[in-house]
Amino acid sequence: MKKESTQTKNGKAFEYAILKEFKEKLERATIVEVVDNHAFLTAQKHFNSFDKIEQGEFLLYASFAVNFLIDIEPRLSNNFDKSDILQLEILTDEKGQDGDVRDVVAIRLLQKWEIGISAKNNHKAVKHSRLSNKIDFGDKWLGIKASKQYFDAIKPIFDSLEKMRNESNKAKTWKSLGNYHSTIYTPILEAFKTELLKIYNTNPNQVSSSLVEYLIGNKDFYKVIKGKKNIEIQAYNLRGTLNLPFENINPKLITPKIDLPTEIKNISYKKGTLTTLIVELNNEWTLSFRIHNASSRVEPSLKFDINLLKAPNSLFTNKLSIEAKK
C-alpha cells in the first residue's frame, strides 16, 4: 500500500475540520446533511489520527474561516423552508483531474446553488500536471489538440527514458544521467513553450482564459490557506457565482468578479534557470511552470509545479490572524 505523505494527511484533516465546523455552526440555523462518501471517511480517518491538541488547532483555524464564509455567503444559513436542505460534501481527488479544485462543497439543490472551498495546509501551489508522450496537454488543458510536431519533438526523449527504465528494471536514477536538466528538461520545456504559443495563436482569447480556468479551477471557489498563526481566504469569483444574496439578505462584504485573461503577453525562462517558464498574461495574471521529476528513479513522464505568481488586484483576499488557545 502506498504511504501517504504528511502533507496529504494534514490537508485531508483540514478538509474534515472545515466540514465539521460548517455542520456545527450551520445546523443551528438550517437543516444540514453530510454526504457520507469515501472521501469523507478518508478525511475523517486522517483527522482522527491526530491527537486532541492537534485536532483542536485544525478546528480553531477552520472555525475562523467558516465564520467569515458564513458572513459573506448568506445562502449558507438561510433557506426557503424545511425542504431546502444544505448538503455538505468532501469531493474525491479525481475531481481535481477534471479541473474542479474544490475540496469541500456546500449545496442547496432547491436553490440550484453551491459554493466550494479549496483547503490548503501551508502551501499555495496551483496545480501539479504531468507531461509525457501519451498526454495531450493541448486537448486536456485547452480543448485544442497538440500538433504532430510537438509529439515528434518530445517522443524520442520520453521513449529513451522508458527504455532506460525498463532495461534497468526500474532501478535507474535521474542522478546517474548526469546533466539531465539540459539534455531532457530544457528540450521538453522548449517544445511545450513552442506548442503553447502555436495553440494560443489559433484562438488567443479562448486559449488565454482556458489556461487560467484549467490551472486555477473551472468552478468558482474560495481558497482557504492555513498558515502559521493566520488563515488566508481568497475568492476566485471568475464567473460571478460567489457572494450571492439570499432574497433581501446581502453579504456583509463584497467579493468582486475577476476578469479572466484574453491574451498571453510573454513566455520566458525564469532568470538563472532553464527549468522554469514564466507565462505573463493580461489582466494581471502571471504563472510559473517549473518542470521536475516526481521520483528519484527514471520514469517516462515529468511533472509541472505550477504557481500563481500574480493575480488581479480584484482578487478578494482576507488574512485573519490567529493566536492558539493556551
Residue 257 and residue 240 in contact, taking contact as beta carbons nearer than 8 Å: yes
Q: Which residues pair with 116 in a beta bridge?
A: 105
Give the model's pLDDT for residue 58.
97
Mean pLDDT estimate for the chain: 93
pLDDT for 121 = 80
Residue 224: exposed, middle, or buried by beta-carbon count in 10 A (0-12, 13-18, 19+)?
buried
Ramachandran quadrant class, 281 (left: phi over 0; alpha: psi -120 to 50; beta: rest): beta
| Range 135-147 average pLDDT | 95
Q: Helix 52-72 vs helix 6-26: angle between axes, to the nearest 10 degrees?
A: 50
Answer yes or no: is pLDDT of 7 > 70: yes
* Residue among 69, 59, 73, 68 nearest 15 (CA): 59
Predicted local distance difference test score (pLDDT) of residue 2: 44
Q: What is the pLDDT of residue 168?
A: 95
- Torsion angles phi and psi, residue 53, rounded to 5: -65, -45
Q: What is the pLDDT of residue 120?
A: 86
Sign of the four-CA dihedral 80, 81, 84, 85: positive
The set of cell numbers assigned to 218 is 473551472
Does residue 294 have a pLDDT over 90?
A: no
| Per-residue confidence (pLDDT) for residue 204, from 0 to 100 | 95
What pLDDT, on the 0 to 100 scale, is given for residue 1?
Answer: 36
Beta sheet of 302-310, edge-to-edge order: 127-131, 302-310, 286-292, 276-281, 264-269
User: What CA–CA distance (Å, rounded) separates 76 from 242?
Assistant: 11
Give residue-wise pLDDT tens across range 82-133: 999 999 999 987 765 667 889 999 999 999 999 999 998 866 667 778 999 9
Read off the pLDDT of each residue in 154-183 and give the average, rounded to a whole number.
95
* Strand pairing category for 221-226 and 113-121: parallel
Over residues 151-176, the mean pLDDT reads 96
State the average pLDDT over residues 139-149: 95
- pLDDT digits 0-9 by tens, 194-207: 999 999 999 999 99
| AA letter at 301 | S
Q: How confident is the model at residue 8 (pLDDT cuts 50, 70, 90)?
A: confident
pLDDT for 151 equals 98
* Whole-Å CA distances, 72 to 119, 233, 235, 256, 259: 17, 11, 10, 12, 20
Residue 203 CA, chain-centre distance (Å), reads 25
Asked if residues 241 and 251 have their Cβ atoms less than 8 Å apart, the reply is no
How far is 177 from 251, CA to CA, in rounded Å? 57
pLDDT digits (tens, 9 = 90+) for 37-84: 999 999 999 999 999 999 999 999 999 999 999 999 999 999 999 999
